[in-house]
Structure 1
Amino acid sequence: MKCNLISYILYFVILQDFKFVNTSKLIVLLVDGFRWDYLDAPDLQLVGFSRLMNTGTRAEWLVPAFPTNSLPNYKSLETGLYVESHGVVGNFIYDSKYGDKLEYMLDNDSKWWTEKDSFFVTAERQGIRTGLFNMGGCYLHFNGVNVTYCLPYQDASTVKESQDATMDAVRRIHNGDIDIAYILHADVDVVGHSSGPGSLQLKQAIKDTDDLIANVLDYLETNKLSDVDMIVVSDHGMASVNETNIIDLNNVLDMDDIDEILESGSVAQIWPKIGRETKIYESLKGFHEHLKVYNRKDILERWFFKQHKFIPPIFVTADSNWCIIHPTSGNHKGTRTIHTFSANHGFDNNDKDMRGVFLASGPDFKQGYTTSPVSIVDVYQLICHVTGIKPMPNNGTWARVESMLKEHHLEL
């Protein structure tokens, strides 16, 4: 009886300690610029995506964080935080206190990446091994932590290089080298910008992505990797931009009044010289009917984009399908000539064209299930839940994602 009682107590303690802990491995494929309705293009026969949807779960769409650009949304995905809470406020960032600038993913100063821990940093602190593939700054020290494996970001990587990186990630999962693989696939975004959402070139990029997903699923099935979940998520969508829809701030801004101006296309961030803020604001306010102009204090609350030191004193954003240019457009590292784009993002996250995708499949997710729209800040909770990471405080809403998950029963 005494032995049975001790066994019962030990069983109860173990159950309490582990009943909420999953040990699945995870592949997170971040497909940059994949718009929500690309999945339903009538003339595309998508095999990989269809398999994911049939064997897993899908959100109707994903709502990105604002601004709907890449780096802010990468960080919101990785932390579950809105932009004003994690500090990666744009693809280009200016620290007016020190005069420092982040220019897209080509900067190796860890100050831009480490204000809030991404899931892979938290995982490494908890003994869960992570690999980052084609990710900017993955080789950095994150407040004393390094990821287990890093394949650094390659600007304009080829489709084959992206496919090779993805399959390398899956093999490392299989070999037990890492527990989580986080992969950036950028081709859909690059082609979307250059050729537009309805182009033949974009359809090919979607098909290439579909083939990549099918290859991953084939590998998992062939090697019977039944403990691996896969999440496919995008950071934002894409909107067509007419080449005549130009908002030219060169006609109204005097660079003698400005310390710094960053970003162009859908948004621009402006730091006036001391005493010039009112002049700049008033000159912009009525300049163009498709330009919205904000003093920092008046930026919309629903964007969660005003309470951070890196957000500029004056912020402007274009209506969808319009393009902002200004005196320093394209002068920064990692930029292309923005007004030659056929399409762009960065617009209001309420815009339908900015919606992204979320799909997931594997042992932790329901099969053939569609849920209501999710926010990009919600995905962090799922990443943590299925891999056993103890999450950091975040802005996600568990009620929006919990229905995707199967009910698990602990087996001892």
Structure 2
Amino acid sequence: MTNVTKVIRPFFEKYVNRSSVESTVLSGALFNVMPRSGLTEQVHNNLSNIPNVTVYKRDEMPERFHYSKPKHRLGEITALPDVEGHIISGATTNAQYDNKGNHGWDNTLPSMQAIFMARGPSFNENVQIDSLNNVDIYHIACHILKLNPNPHATAGSLANLTSLFSLVKNDTTSSTFVSSSSTTQKAFITERFNVHISTSSLVEIVKSTVFNNQLRMVLLV
């Protein structure tokens, strides 16, 4: 989290004509728009005139940001403030921006990073690593719950995290469930048959299931 120090309003400040944009997908530390047909270059060039802002077309986004390529996920053009604390708003007026802080800037910045702590028989004790990516947490959860990650979940990896895990084989035969909801039952079936599981389903399993205290992870921001 970082204090907001400046609000850039491309539409209000006349860098871009609002009528040339079909929709504003995201705004804030990242500004993403879908230009109207035939106006992509114009909108790109106009946004590029904003001082201290870097503008990318969809296929130019740095790979390390893990942004999806399909058109239904992102607009064609993304503008990123070069200065931490600056945000880009889709407002068409000079209305006051009330949020004092925000997040979503470059994830290499220390202020954008969080603390990850994990405890349980799946993990070694007193291990400290320099860093991990948020997209790695999905693979950590799949590993300790003995689930196959979704084959399309290509972002994230356990390659640099092997020192975290204990070699002790975990026994899940006496798993304790918080409730008898359909989600919990589905979690048990998924664990038993080791099928592929999506990120959203995994979140529900983590919320509703405890496997012998194997899963105790805290993400502090």
Fold-level match, TM-score > 0.5?
yes
Write out aligned runs for 1:110-129 (5 A).
none
- Residue 67 (structure 2) pairs with residue 293 (structure 1): no
Q: How far does the alpha carbon of each residue in 1:48-107 deviate from its partner, in whole angstroms, 9 at most, with x for none?
A: xxxxxxxxxxxxxxxxxxxxxxxxxxxxxxxxxxxxxxxxxxxxxxxxxxxxxxxxxxxx
Alignment TM-score, normalising by the size of structure 1: 0.37
Distance in 1 between residues matched to 2:164 and 2:96, nearest whole Å = 39
Q: Where does residue 30 of structure 2 map in the other structure?
A: 267
Q: Equivalent of 2:69, from 296, 304, 307?
A: 307
Q: Which runs of 5+ in 2 are unaligned?
A: 172-221
Structure 1 pair 352/338, CA: closer, same or farther in 2 (3 Å)?
farther
Q: Where does residue 145 of structure 2 map in the other structure?
A: 387
One-letter code of the match for 1:404?
L
Q: Equivalent of 1:404, from 164, 179, 204?
A: 164
Q: Equivalent of 1:361, from 104, 107, 119?
A: 119
Per the TM alignment, residue 302 of structure 1 is displaced from its structure 2 partner at its CA by 2.4
Write out aligned runs for 1:43-192 (5 A).
none
What secondary structure sits across from 1:261 in the alignment?
strand
Q: Where does residue 185 of structure 2 map in the other structure?
A: none
Q: Is the 8 A contact 1:265 1:338 kept in 2?
A: no
Per the TM alignment, residue 409 of structure 1 is displaced from its structure 2 partner at its CA by 4.7
Structure 1 pair 403/264, CA: closer, same or farther in 2 (3 Å)?
same
Q: Is the 8 A contact 2:57 2:78 kept in 1?
A: yes
What secondary structure sits across from 2:59 in the alignment?
helix
Higher helix share: 1
Q: Is the 8 A contact 2:22 2:36 kept in 1?
A: yes
Distance in 1 between residues matched to 2:90 and 2:157, nearest whole Å = 38
Per the TM alignment, residue 328 of structure 1 is displaced from its structure 2 partner at its CA by 5.6
Q: How far does the alpha carbon of each residue in 1:27-56 deviate from its partner, in whole angstroms, 9 at most, with x for none?
A: xxxxxxxxxxxxxxxxxxxxxxxxxxxxxx
Aligned length in residues: 165
One-letter code of the match for 2:79?
V
What secondary structure sits across from 1:385 in the alignment?
helix
Distance in 1 between residues matched to 2:47 and 2:69, nearest whole Å = 23
- Residue 11 (structure 2) pairs with residue 247 (structure 1): no
Distance in 2 between residues matched to 1:338 and 1:375, nearest whole Å = 34
Q: Is the 8 A contact 2:8 2:86 kept in 1?
A: yes
Distance in 2 between residues matched to 1:273 and 1:392, nearest whole Å = 35
Structure 1 pair 264/328, CA: closer, same or farther in 2 (3 Å)?
farther
Q: How far does the alpha carbon of each residue in 1:141-189 deviate from its partner, in whole angstroms, 9 at most, with x for none?
A: xxxxxxxxxxxxxxxxxxxxxxxxxxxxxxxxxxxxxxxxxxxxxxxxx
Identity %: 23
Q: How far does the alpha carbon of each residue in 1:112-138 deviate from its partner, in whole angstroms, 9 at most, with x for none?
A: xxxxxxxxxxxxxxxxxxxxxxxxxxx
Q: Is the 8 A contact 2:16 2:43 kept in 1?
A: yes
Structure 1 pair 328/365, CA: closer, same or farther in 2 (3 Å)?
farther
Q: How far does the alpha carbon of each residue in 1:293-324 deviate from its partner, in whole angstroms, 9 at most, with x for none?
A: 11222222322325222221111122311121
Q: Is the 8 A contact 2:105 2:112 kept in 1?
A: yes
Q: Equivalent of 1:316, from 65, 69, 79?
A: 79
Q: Where does residue 201 of structure 1 map in the other structure?
A: none
What secondary structure sits across from 2:31 in the alignment?
strand
Q: How far does the alpha carbon of each residue in 1:319-338 deviate from its partner, in whole angstroms, 9 at most, with x for none?
A: 31112123369xxxxxxx88
Q: Is the 8 A contact 1:264 1:338 kept in 2?
A: no
One-letter code of the match for 1:265?
G
Structure 1 pair 338/374, CA: closer, same or farther in 2 (3 Å)?
farther
What secondary structure sits across from 1:400 in the alignment?
coil
Structure 1 pair 338/316, CA: closer, same or farther in 2 (3 Å)?
farther
One-letter code of the match for 2:100?
S
- Residue 99 (structure 2) pairs with residue 341 (structure 1): yes
Q: Where does residue 276 of structure 1 map in the other structure?
A: 39
Q: Is the 8 A contact 1:247 1:288 kept in 2?
A: no
Per the TM alignment, residue 382 of structure 1 is displaced from its structure 2 partner at its CA by 1.9
Q: Which runs of 5+ in 1 are unaligned?
A: 1-237, 330-336
One-letter code of the match for 2:165?
L
Q: Is the 8 A contact 2:136 2:158 kept in 1?
A: yes
One-letter code of the match for 1:287?
I
Alignment TM-score, normalising by the size of structure 2: 0.66
